[in-house]
Amino acid sequence: MAWLPPAPQWLERWLDEAAVEAPPAPLWWAWVGMVAVGGLAAAAMAGLPAALLAAGALAAGPALVLRVRRREGDARLERGLPEALEAVARSLRSGASLRQAIGEAALVTPGRLGRELAEVARQVGHGATLVAAMEALAARHPLPSVRLAVAALCLAVETGGAQAKAVDGVATTLRDRLGVAAEVKALSSQARMSGVVIGLAPLAFGAFAVTTDPRTGQFLFHTPLGIALLGVGLSLDALGWLWMQRLARSPG
């Protein structure tokens, strides 16, 4: 949809961080349209306060989801590192130089990591040293797995020797670390799900109460005290959910 105006740069960055492989412009204008239509519908049904609350919820909801998923892009990049390093090692065994091996690995590595490896190859092709290009990659993604992989590749550049064997060893180490991290995440999944249920339960109960008892909606959306209580309740519910997610988050 090239005819659509471009999306804000911050949205493109958030989508990349959340590992959402979709064109930003259609998502942005769908988001804007959803906020506008939802606000107008709420205004027609319950007045201006409900319209403001509906528009705020529709605007904040997708943003909150993207921010919660902001680590997913980094996690996917880390999960792809072992296979990318193994592709580098295969190219080294076939007689390619390390620079050529990284360029070939970029061609077979999907997603964000493949683009990053292609950027390393591009920088080297424009005159940068391989060590400088790899260190720039580590600066863009200061993750433990990325730093370890970059350190191993830089050491291979500087020392030479059995580069393929060293790269394979790092790939095995990263695969083992990712396996342990996945096990820890699985063990904490029940706590995270409990946090989601506890966070959504007040919203579901509030929607049920407004639907079944018009006096509740009249109080919440048409009186200053009701609007104030609704705002405080939604804020406390969001803070509680975020705190539970933080407590359940696995380290590293």
Task: Tell whether 126 is covered by a domain.
Answer: yes
Task: Tell whether 1 is covered by a domain.
Answer: no
Q: What are 113-136's pLDDT values in tens digits?
A: 888 889 998 998 888 888 899 899
Instruction: Give the largest CA-CA distance in the chain.
Output: 78
Task: Tell whether 229 is covered by a domain.
Answer: yes
Per-residue pLDDT for 2 more than 60?
no
Task: Tell whether 3 is covered by a domain.
Answer: no
Identify the pLDDT of residue 19: 67
**Domain boundary pick from 185, 210, 238:** 185
Identify the pLDDT of residue 109: 87
Task: Tell whether 110 is covered by a domain.
Answer: yes
DSSP one-letter code for 250? P
Residues 82 and 180 in one domain: yes
Q: What are 182-212's pLDDT values in tens digits?
A: 776 666 667 667 777 777 788 778 777 777 7
Identify the pLDDT of residue 187: 67
Range of the domain at 119: 72-185
| Block residue for tokens 């360029």 | 103
- 141 pLDDT tier (thresholds 50, 70, 90): confident
Identify the pLDDT of residue 56: 79
Per-residue pLDDT for 219 more than 80?
yes
Residues 215 and 123 in one domain: no
Mean pLDDT score of the chain: 80
Tokens of 179: 């396996």
Residues 117 and 171 in one domain: yes
Identify the pLDDT of residue 64: 76
**Domain boundary pick from 37, 53, 68:** 68
Identify the pLDDT of residue 215: 83
Task: Tell whether 59 is covered by a domain.
Answer: yes
Specify the higher pLDDT residue, 133 or 2: 133
CA distance linking residue 53 with residue 189, whole number of Å: 31
Tokens of 184: 């820890």
Residues 104 and 138 in one domain: yes
**Domain boundary pick from 68, 88, 103:** 68
Residues 129 and 173 in one domain: yes
Q: How many CA atoms lie within 13 A of 232 on its CB side?
A: 7
Per-residue pLDDT for 161 more than 70?
no
Residues 89 and 160 in one domain: yes
Q: What are 44-78's pLDDT values in tens digits?
A: 777 777 777 777 778 887 877 777 676 677 778 88
Task: Tell whether 2 is covered by a domain.
Answer: no
CA distance linking residue 73 with residue 82, whole number of Å: 16
Tokens of 232: 């405080």
Residues 119 and 166 in one domain: yes
**pTM beyond 0.95:** no
Residues 195 and 217 in one domain: yes
Residues 97 and 180 in one domain: yes
CB atoms within 10 A of CB 80: 19
Task: Tell whether 21 is covered by a domain.
Answer: yes
Residues 77 and 181 in one domain: yes
Q: How many domains does the chain have?
A: 3
Per-residue pLDDT for 87 more than 80?
yes
Residues 79 and 181 in one domain: yes
- 178 pLDDT tier (thresholds 50, 70, 90): confident
Residues 100 and 135 in one domain: yes
